[in-house]
């Protein structure tokens, strides 16, 4: 085997999680994009806006586009129109990976046990790896925070929730990615919208793909992300948790976080 072939061969056998990561990675300013207004109040509105742009009437002729939540609602129900059969895939918008105007980030990863004990976070014993990063604006106020749980062993999992309470500012860069067909026509995104306690919950993704659940309630806006290998139920467990345990953002003052050193 030639020498360079050997290294290429070895790279070819690296763990699939790296390939998965590279394939699902996306920046915010790529592909075809549309600016949704000059200023949009928050991402949740943005996502719902994307939905309503393609479905001017929240209840279409079939009358089942916006689902009504009930206690019997299953995890699969949240994603029942998100499988792509009802439209093209929406190119996922990840708040966590977007470039927003925060100026400082601090880590609270070391406080996992405390946050679990105080029921800020669910106990997720099957996810040994945990990260909590909080982002602050120049005035020191909290802009967004991200909790992420990983399991990189046999049952790969990468769950994350990003949340905040302030209006998402400087939305000039806030874009929604849409697919276009060969004639340049937009393909409606495949999303499922569920109304729960008066709040619209937008779900995207399906089995074997990245998945997101986005919503805004009185406590703030939230986006839950799951990897291709995470189940609908994993996502909805997090949704239910933060529905019942809204984040108290005052728990994360900048001075309490650990300074993050750049790798």
Residues that bind another protein (CB under 8 A): 1-22, 25-27, 29-30, 154-156, 207-208, 228-229, 262-263
Return the structure tokens found at 215.
Answer: 């919503």
Nearest distance from residue 139's CB to another protein, in Å?
Answer: 27
The C-alpha atoms of residue 195 and residue 51 are separated, in whole angstroms, by 13
Nearer to another protein, 218 or 261 (CB): 261
The C-alpha atoms of residue 125 and residue 149 are separated, in whole angstroms, by 10
Nearer to another protein, 112 or 150 (CB): 150
Nearest distance from residue 6's CB to another protein, in Å?
Answer: 7
Nearer to another protein, 10 or 62 (CB): 10
* Residues 164 and 140: beta-carbon distance below 8 Å: no
CA atoms within 13 A on the CB side of 125: 0
17 — phi, psi (to 5°)?
Answer: -65, -30
Nearest distance from residue 145's CB to another protein, in Å?
Answer: 18
Nearest distance from residue 94's CB to another protein, in Å?
Answer: 12
Nearer to another protein, 6 or 119 (CB): 6
Nearer to another protein, 19 or 59 (CB): 19
CA atoms within 13 A on the CB side of 44: 24
Pick from 116, 122, 119, 88: nearest CA to 224: 122
Nearest distance from residue 252's CB to another protein, in Å?
Answer: 22
Enumerate the H helices of 96-229 as residue ranges.
112-117
The C-alpha atoms of residue 201 and residue 223 are separated, in whole angstroms, by 10
The C-alpha atoms of residue 39 and residue 23 are separated, in whole angstroms, by 30
Nearest distance from residue 10's CB to another protein, in Å?
Answer: 4
Nearest distance from residue 249's CB to another protein, in Å?
Answer: 25
How much is the CA Rg of the chain, to the nearest whole Å? 19
Nearer to another protein, 17 or 186 (CB): 17
- Identify the H or E element spanning 8: helix 3-11
Nearer to another protein, 35 or 256 (CB): 35
Return the structure tokens found at 146.
Answer: 């991200």
């Amino acid at each position: 085997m030639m020498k360079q072939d050997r290294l290429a061969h070895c790279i070819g056998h690296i763990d699939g999680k790296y390939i998965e990561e590279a394939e699902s990675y996306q920046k915010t300013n790529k592909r075809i994009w549309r600016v949704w207004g000059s200023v949009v109040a928050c991402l949740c509105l943005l996502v719902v806006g994307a939905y309503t742009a393609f479905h001017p009437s929240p209840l279409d002729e079939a009358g089942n586009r916006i689902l009504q939540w009930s206690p019997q609602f299953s995890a699969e129900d949240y994603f029942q129109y998100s499988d792509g059969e009802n439209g093209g895939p929406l190119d996922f918008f990840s708040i966590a990976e977007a470039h927003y105007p925060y100026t400082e980030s601090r880590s609270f990863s070391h406080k996992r046990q405390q946050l679990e004990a105080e029921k800020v976070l669910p106990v997720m014993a099957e996810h040994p790896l945990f990260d909590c990063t909080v982002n602050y604006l120049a005035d020191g106020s909290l802009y967004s925070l991200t909790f992420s749980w990983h399991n990189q062993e046999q049952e790969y999992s990468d769950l994350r929730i990003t949340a905040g309470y302030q209006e998402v500012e400087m939305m000039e860069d806030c874009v929604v990615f849409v697919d276009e067909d060969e004639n340049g026509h937009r393909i409606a995104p495949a999303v499922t919208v569920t109304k729960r306690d008066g709040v619209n919950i937008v779900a995207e993704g399906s089995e074997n793909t990245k998945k997101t659940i986005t919503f805004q309630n009185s406590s703030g806006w939230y986006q839950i992300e799951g990897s291709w290998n995470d189940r609908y139920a994993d996502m909805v467990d997090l949704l239910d948790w933060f529905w019942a345990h809204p984040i108290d953002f005052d728990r994360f003052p900048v001075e309490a976080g650990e300074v993050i050193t750049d790798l």
